[in-house]
Amino acid sequence: MEHSMEHSMDDKKTYYTEEGYKKLVEELEYLKGPKMKEVKESLAAARELGDLSENSEYDEARNEQTKVVTRIQDLEEELLHAVVINETEIDTNVIHLGSSVKLYDYDFNEEIEYSIVGTNEVDALSGKISDQSPIGSALLGAHIGEDVTVSSPNGEMKFKVLDVWRQKNN
């Protein structure tokens, strides 16, 4: 039951579902547009208050500008190395990045569902787990009906793969 990872060893690449990639692009557009305009207006208003050396509003606006510019640079770097997986080509018999899965948890005698997403899309509350996490990486390549053992800091966990399907975009 060895699963080979088909990802290249290029550490710069980050894998995204179409939904996750779209959210990055939307955040970048918001920061470069409305948010940057808001920051520039705050700076202009603070400058009008006079002496910049003792002007806390100006300092706050400059700090906000620095944060926004840094986030824009980070997003542009992420998007440069982003690889969007084509979810329509996902084989629903095998677990891939972009798959949703229903598992039977032997330890807790219950069924659970996860969606396997890129590391920047993780949302534990909605069951989105990273393809790099112990459970996510152990599930990659598994088939329906297969048992998967996950080694975690808390010991081994054992699951049976009950179902696999493509994630639905919300």
The dihedral built from the CA positions of residue 24, 28, 34 and 35, taken in this order, carries a sign that is positive
For residue 30, give its domain range: 14-84
The 10s digit of each residue's pLDDT in 66-76 is 999 999 999 99
Residue 77 has pLDDT above 70, yes or no: yes
98 neighbors 85 (Cβ within 8 angstroms): yes
**Domain of 18: which CATH number?**
1.10.287.180
Q: Are residues 64 and 92 in the same domain?
A: no
**Domain of 135: which CATH number?**
3.10.50.30
Looking at every residue in the chain, the average pLDDT score rounds to: 83
* 41 inside domain: yes
Q: Are residues 93 and 30 in the same domain?
A: no
Burial class of 121 by CB neighbour count within 10 A (0 to 12, 13 to 18, 19+):
buried
The 10s digit of each residue's pLDDT in 4-51 is 344 444 466 777 778 888 888 999 999 999 999 999 999 888 888 877
Residue 128 CA to residue 136 CA, distance in Å, equals 9
pTM, to two decimals: 0.58
148 neighbors 142 (Cβ within 8 angstroms): yes
